Chains A and B, each alone.
Chain A
Amino acid sequence: MNSILECRNLEKSYNGGRSRALKGISLSLGKGRIIGLLGPNGSGKTTFIKLINGLLTPDGGELYIGGYPVGVETKHMISYLPEVTYLGSSMKVHQIISYFEDFYRDFDSGRAYEMLYRLNINPGDRLKAMSKGTREKVQLIMVMSRNTSLYVLDEPIGGVDPAARDYILSTIVSNYNPDATILLSTHLIADVEQILDDVIFLQEGSVMLAESAERLKKEKGCSVDAVFREVFRC
């Protein structure tokens, strides 16, 4: 099996079916790839990511991760970074590390402390005393300190300054297992396209394009960012 994620005709609606967020998408994500999930606001990126993580229940279709339907087994395989702060704000960083250690057998606390040290983040500090950017870095450190098969990162560089973006991207690239897959959703394509192996364009809940980033650049003769701007021109 060369794919880590398979979905067929995956559907999700809100407001009692009036608003269709995903219109039966079918995808296969290969192992060991860094995949950009790209699309404008409301295209269904976050809905797709929440379905992968079991935070939403699909209305129809099938979704398998590592051959399993979404459940306890798949949660062992996924390390998820949401766009919101999901850690308790009154927790200290070392308490968060203990929490992850308690629940994830693949969590490497040594790696987490090393990354904290490099970023000059005190493990004794409480999350609520930190800036938004630092909180996002702490979350990313927790997510990337797991040795798992699928990393799902929803807007990991959305709320940080350009200098921190570079650090976050290098953290992502240098801290994941090469056999693992990274699914990365973002609007900031120019910042991430140099690390992407594949791209998926979503538009209004449908897959518009799913292609190797290299092939796309060769075919169109321009960057992924330029293709995106052309495709989603307002």
Chain B
Amino acid sequence: MLGKLLKYDYKANIFYFLLMYAVLMGAAVVARLSIAAADIQYFSFSDDHVLSVMAMVGSVLFYSLICGAVAVLTLLLIAMRFYKNLMGNEGYLTFTLPVPKSSHLISKMISGVSLVLLTYLALVLSAMVLTVGMDFWDSPVAVFSWRLLEAVRFDHPLIASLYCLEGLVTVIQVVAVVYFSICVGQLAGRHRVLGAIGIYLAVNVVIGIIAALGSTIFMRLLHGYEGGVFYYGITSTVTILFHGIVAAGCLMGSFLLMKWKLNLE
């Protein structure tokens, strides 16, 4: 049954995601072409150079805007699918399917997390489109970025693996917090959307405060070890554990609310 739930979760969203990725790639291609056009104008010493530079700046800005919009829309679409399918009118059908409530949550988690990862992949691909044929890797931005990564020991295989795992667990936590907020929000009766937004903000503030306090204490404890593999390894491990605990707590909370406090009024 989980496979069937997943099939319908992907089916419900795939059109919007593909459309979004098409717009993103389109914006990247336009930005790349405008950069190329500005280069040609520059080397031909044409009078149209100013115009082509303006077009380039505009299209790169537009591409950046689209990147931001794609990231926000991804989360919004995932939240909307969860809300509509479980807490809206569709919930009358979804919750009467002969499927355990845990399967609904697992299906939504798998589809939500995989769609966020797909969006990451689309953003990386679009960035590659933007920089194709350019000496990007020798540019000051790329050199600076690589130095930054080296400084946090991304060049070390173990640390790099921990950072990747940290990224995955963070995505799981972000999606779990969204679902938990919607599950708590449905208890607010007619103000369920407003309630969900309030809970989402409150949970994130609490996570932020705990993370800030924790990192301050942790940096003091690790004083003298800064910069080494041990320092970044232990920092990343603790971050993974923290996000993992928050995600597990939110998922357990969502499951218990769906099991005992479901309220499709």
Contacts and interface: CB of A to CB of B under 8 A. Distances in A.
Interface in A11-43: 14-15
B154 to A, nearest CB: 44
Given A75-B98, A80-B96, A57 B90 contact: no
Q: Say which size band chain A's interface belongs to.
A: 20 to 34
A9 interface: no
Interface string B57-92: 000000000000000000000000000000001111
A55 B264 contact: yes
B4 A88 contact: no
Given A85-B89, A86-B89, A103-B4, A75 B262 contact: no
Contacts of B89: 84-86
Interface string A29-64: 000000000000000000000100111110000000
Contacts of A53: 92, 95-96
Contact of B93 (A14, A72, A78, A86): A86
Instruction: Say whether chain A's binding surface is mostly helix, strand, loop, or mixed.
Output: mixed
A8 interface: no
B260 interface: yes
Nearest to B94: A86
Given A84-B92, A103-B99, A104-B98, A54 B4 contact: no
Nearest to B97: A103
Interface string A74-87: 01101010101111
B12 interface: yes
Interface string B1-31: 1001001100010000000000000000000
Given A84-B92, A86-B92, A88-B12, A55 B97 contact: no
A215 to B, nearest CB: 33
Nearest to B84: A88
B262 A103 contact: no
Contacts of A102: 4, 7
A99 interface: yes
Contacts of B95: 53-55
B156 interface: no
A99 B7 CA distance: 10
A75 B96 contact: yes
Given A82-B92, A84-B92, A50 B97 contact: no
Contact of A56 (B7, B97, B189, B264): B264
